[in-house]
C-alpha cells in the first residue's frame, strides 16, 4: 500500500507531526498514517510535567487535551506554579501561575492520539516496524502487519528509535540514565503535593552527578503521590561516574522511602548534540528519536515543537519534489527547538562542569521570559532614572 508519509511512534512527537501536517496540508495528512507498536492507553516513564511552551503549541493546534483531561475528572492534571531549586544550603524559588501541569503520560498521550484520530488520523496501533529498505525513490517499510511504500518516513519512535538505528549512519547516542519511582505523598516528609510545588535538588552535583534529583506531585485521581527521580546527563562523559543508585537510595531514605531498587523504573533520556545526524533522504527524526536537551531533560514541549518543523519540511519536500531533507538539521537548529537545546547544552556544560552556580543555570532555563509590557516598564523606569526631570510634571 502507498502512503505519502508514515510516522513511526504515537507519542507527542509523532502525533504532533501529524497534527501539524493536518493543520497546514490536510490532503497530505489524509495520505499519511501513524504506526504505534503499543495499544493506547500505553505507559511511558516520565515525570509528566507539561510546561507552558507545550500548552502554547497545543493551543495553536486548537487541541484542548489538558482541559478535557480535567473535565473528564478521572485523569486530573495538577497545576503547579512554584519551582524550588536546591544546591546545598542555597535555595532559589520561581513562581509563575500554572508553570507546569502534571499529567499521567498514559492519559495525556492517549488524549492527544484521540484528538488526532478525531481529525481523521489513520492510527495503526499494535503495529511495529520490522524492516526498512530504500528503493530508487521511495522506502519500503515492513511491519508485523504489512508492507508499505512511502516517500517520507518520520522516526518518532522514542529514545531507542528503530528508525534511527536502521536508517541513520551509526553514531554513539547520548543517553542519560534515570531512575524514577512513585510513592504516596507523606505530609511529614513531602511538602510538594500540598504546596503544589516541584523540587529540583542539584546538590548531588557536588558528588559528581551531572544531573539532579526531582520530587514532583502527581495523582492517579485517588492517591496523592510524589514522583521521585534522578538523572545523570554525562555531558562530561570522561569525568568519574558517581554511584547514582547510592545517591538515590540516600535521598529516598531522607523521605522515609525504603522501596527495593528492583521496584524502580528506568528509561534513558536521549539528548541532542550538534553533530547528530537527524535526516537522510526520505527520512527525518523527531522528539526523543532526534534528542532533547541535557540540562533538565524536559522533552514533551520539545517533542511537540519538533512536530511543527518536521511537518513544514515534509510539506516543502512534496512542494519541491526534493526529498533529500538536506536542510532538516539546519531547520531544527534555527527553530526555537534547536535554539533552546543549544542554550540548555551551554548551561549544562557550565553547571555540570563546575563553571556556573547550578541555581543560576536553573534560573536561566526556567525564569519566565519577560513579556513586552514588562520590558517596556523596565525600559521606562531605566530612562526615568537617567532623565529624572522627565518624570516631573511640566505644568
Ligand atoms: C524518567 C523521565 C522523566 C521525564 N520527565 C519529563 C517531564 O517531567 N517533562 C517533560 O517535558 N519531559 C520529561 N521527560 C522526557 C519525555 O518523556 C520525552 O522527551 C517525550 O516522551 C518524548 O516524546 P516522543 O514522542 O519523542 O517519544 P515517546 O513518548 O517515547 O513515544 C515514542 C512512541 O514510539 C513507539 N514506538 C517505539 N518503537 C516503535 C516501533 N518500532 N514501531 C512503532 N512504534 C514504536 C512507542 O511505543 C511510543 O509510543 C522525561 C523522561 C524520562 C525518562
What is the predicted pLDDT for the residue at 394? Answer: 41
Which of the residues in the chain have pLDDT under 50? 71-75, 391-395
pTM (predicted TM-score) = 0.93
Sequence ranges of the domains in the chain:
2-366
Atom of ligand 1 nearest to the CA of 128: 42
Q: How many CB atoms lie within 10 A of CB 96?
A: 15
The alpha carbon of 182 and the centre of ligand 1 are apart by a number of angstroms equal to 18
Choose one of 269, 294, 307, 310 to mutate for the ligand 1 pocket test, by most ligand atoms within 8 angstroms of C-beta.
Answer: 269
Paired strand residues for 33: 6, 122
Q: Which atom of ligand 1 is nearest to the CA of 268?
A: 53
Q: Is 134 helix (H, G, I), strand (E, B) or coil?
A: strand
Q: Can you give 271-326 as a three-state secondary structure string?
A: ECCCCCCCEECCEEECHHHCCECCCCCCCHHHHHHHHHHHHHHHHHHHHHCCCCCC
Query: Which residue of 165, 303, 344 sits with most ligand 1 atoms within 8 Å of its CB, as the best mutation to test the pocket?
Result: 303
Q: How many residues does the chain have?
A: 395
**Ligand 1 atom 37 nearest Cα:** 157
Measured CA to CA, the distance from residue 24 to residue 311 in angstroms comes to: 8
Residue 53's CB is within 10 A of a number of other CB atoms, namely 17
Return the pLDDT at 11. 98
Distance 270 CA to ligand 1 centre (A): 10
Query: Residue 71's pLDDT is what?
Result: 44
The whole-angstrom separation of Cα 57 and Cα 366 is 18
- Ligand 1 binding residues, C-beta < 6 A: 8-14, 35-38, 42, 44-49, 128-129, 156-158, 162, 178, 180, 229, 267, 269, 287-289, 292, 297-301, 303
Q: Rounded to the nearest whole angstrom, what is the distance from the C-alpha of residue 11 to the centroid of ligand 1?
A: 6
CATH tag for 2-366 (out of 3.50.50.60, 3.30.70.270, 3.40.640.10, 3.90.1580.10): 3.50.50.60
Q: Give the pLDDT confidence score for residue 173 in this predicted structure.
A: 94
DSSP state of 203: G
Atom of ligand 1 nearest to the CA of 159: 30
Return the sign of the alpha-carbon dihedral for residues 376, 342, 24, 117.
negative
**Residue 301 alpha carbon to ligand 1 centre in Å:** 11
Ligand 1 center to residue 389 CA distance, Å?
58
33 contacts: CB under 8 Å, gap ≥ 6: 3, 5, 6, 7, 121, 122, 123, 124
Query: Residue 391 C-alpha to ligand 1 middle, in angstroms?
Result: 54
316: which 3 cell numbers?
516543502
- Residue 78: predicted pLDDT: 87
The answer to whether 153 and 8 are in contact (CB under 8 A) is: yes
Residue with CA at minimum distance from ligand 1 atom 17 = 46
Question: Which residues, in sequence order, are bridge partners of residue 284?
Answer: 154, 279
Q: At residue 182, what are phi and psi to the nearest 5 degrees?
A: -110, 125
Amino acid at each position: 500500500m502507498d502512503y505519502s508519509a508514515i510516522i513511526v511512534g504515537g507519542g507527542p512527537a509523532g502525533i504532533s507531526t501529524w497534527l501539524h501536517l493536518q493543520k497546514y496540508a490536510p490532503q497530505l495528512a489524509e495520505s499519511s498514517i501513524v504506526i504505534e507498536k503499543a495499544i493506547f492507553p500505553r505507559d511511558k516513564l516520565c515525570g509528566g510535567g507539561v510546561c507552558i511552551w507545550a500548552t502554547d503549541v497545543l493551543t495553536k493546534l486548537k487541541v484542548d487535551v489538558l482541559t478535557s483531561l480535567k473535565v473528564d475528572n478521572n485523569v486530573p492534571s495538577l497545576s503547579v506554579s512554584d519551582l524550588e531549586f536546591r544546591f546545598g544550603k542555597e535555595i532559589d524559588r520561581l513562581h509563575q501561575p500554572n508553570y507546569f501541569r502534571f499529567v499521567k503520560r498514559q492519559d495525556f498521550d492517549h488524549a492527544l492520539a484521540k484528538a488526532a484520530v478525531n481529525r481523521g488520523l489513520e492510527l495503526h496501533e499494535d503495529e511495529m516496524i520490522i524492516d526498512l529498505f530504500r528503493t530508487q525513490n521511495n522506502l519500503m517499510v515492513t511491519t508485523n502487519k504489512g508492507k508499505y511504500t512511502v516517500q517520507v518516513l518520520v522516526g518518532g519512535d522514542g529514545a531507542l528509535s528503530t528508525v534511527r538505528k536502521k536508517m541513520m549512519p551509526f553514531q554513539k547516542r547520548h543517553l542519560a540514565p534515570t531512575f524514577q519511582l512513585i510513592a504516596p505523598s507523606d505530609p511529614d516528609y513531602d511538602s510538594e503535593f500540598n504546596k503544589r510545588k516541584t523540587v529540583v535538588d542539584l546538590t548531588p552535583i557536588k558528588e559528581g552527578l551531572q544531573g539532579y534529583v526531582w520530587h514532583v506531585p502527581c495523582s492517579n485521581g485517588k492517591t496523592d503521590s510524589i514522583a521521585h527521580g534522578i538523572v545523570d546527563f554525562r555531558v562530561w562523559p570522561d569525568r568519574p561516574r558517581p554511584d547514582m543508585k547510592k545517591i538515590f537510595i540516600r535521598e529516598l531514605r531522607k523521605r522515609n522511602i525504603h522501596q527495593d531498587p528492583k521496584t524502580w523504573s528506568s528509561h534513558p533520556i536521549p539528548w541532542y548534540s550538534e553533530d547528530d545526524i537527524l535526516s537522510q533522504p526520505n527520512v527525518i527524526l523527531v522528539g526523543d528519536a532526534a534528542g532533547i536537551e541535557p540540562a533538565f531533560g524536559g522533552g514533551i514541549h520539545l517533542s511537540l515543537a519538533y512536530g511543527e518543523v518536521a511537518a513544514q519540511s515534509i510539506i516543502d519536500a512534496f512542494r519541491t519534489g526534493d526529498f533529500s531533507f538536506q536542510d532538516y538539521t539546519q531547520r531544527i537548529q534555527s527553530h526555537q527547538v534547536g535554539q533552546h537545546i543549544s542554550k540548555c547544552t551551554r548551561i549544562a556544560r557550565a553547571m555540570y562542569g563546575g563553571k556556573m552556580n547550578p541555581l543560576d543555570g536553573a534560573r536561566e532555563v526556567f525564569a519566565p521570559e519577560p513579556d513586552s509590557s514588562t520590558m517596556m516598564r523596565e525600559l521606562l523606569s531605566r530612562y526615568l532614572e537617567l532623565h529624572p526631570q522627565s518624570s516631573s510634571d511640566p505644568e
